[in-house]
Amino acid sequence: ATHLTEVLRSHADELLGRQDTQKLLDNLAKTHPKVVEELVPGTMGLGGVQKVLQNLLRERVSIRDLLTICETLADHATMNKDTDVLTEFVRQKLARSIVGSFTDEEGNLSVLTLATQTEDLVRESIQKTEQGAYLALEPNLAQRLLESIQETVEKIAASGYHPIILCSA
């Protein structure tokens, strides 16, 4: 049962279809009809909402607070239709609940950060196309960067901490 639960969590984004998204919105509409009316189809299509929810699930971010997610999308989707950018706005709005599960008893959060030059290099190497964004780094450099991050993350995990990388949007 534990293994099955883990498999479902790992692939939740792939399991969430349009019909499932519509059911989630229908349930929210029972208690908050105006939010759903404003969002779908007025501001965003069902497919866009689905993509944002899938992005969150892929990152293992809970979508239980669907009201906050929909309100955030309604606020920002009029200005931007990029689902990756909209997901970032939602992530920022859900920050307290996302971070809450990673803090210790004293409320401290242990994080890793990238060197400023490295973060700048990665940010400048992101190429946006109609199909989405991708990282356009020289392959050997990208490989070294990934290996270094993986090595550090493994050390942190071995120390009993949950590895979290804190970076700019």
Q: What is the DSSP string of 62-78?
A: ----HHHHHHHHHHHTT
Q: Read off the pLDDT of residues 143-162 as tens digits, 9 standing for 90 and up.
A: 999 999 999 999 988 988 88
Residue 107 backbone class (left: φ over 0; alpha: ψ -120 to 50; beta: rest)? left
pLDDT at 58: 94
Q: Read off the pLDDT of residues 119-132 as tens digits, 9 standing for 90 and up.
A: 999 999 988 877 77
CA distance 27 to 7: 26
pLDDT at 65: 96
pLDDT at 169: 75
Q: How confident is the model at residue 140 (pLDDT cuts 50, 70, 90)?
A: very high
pLDDT at 131: 75
pLDDT at 34: 95
104-128 core/surface letters (b: 16 or more CB in 10 A; e: else): eeeeeeeeeebeeeeeeebeeeeee
pLDDT at 89: 96
Share of the chain above pLDDT 70, in %: 100
pLDDT at 104: 82
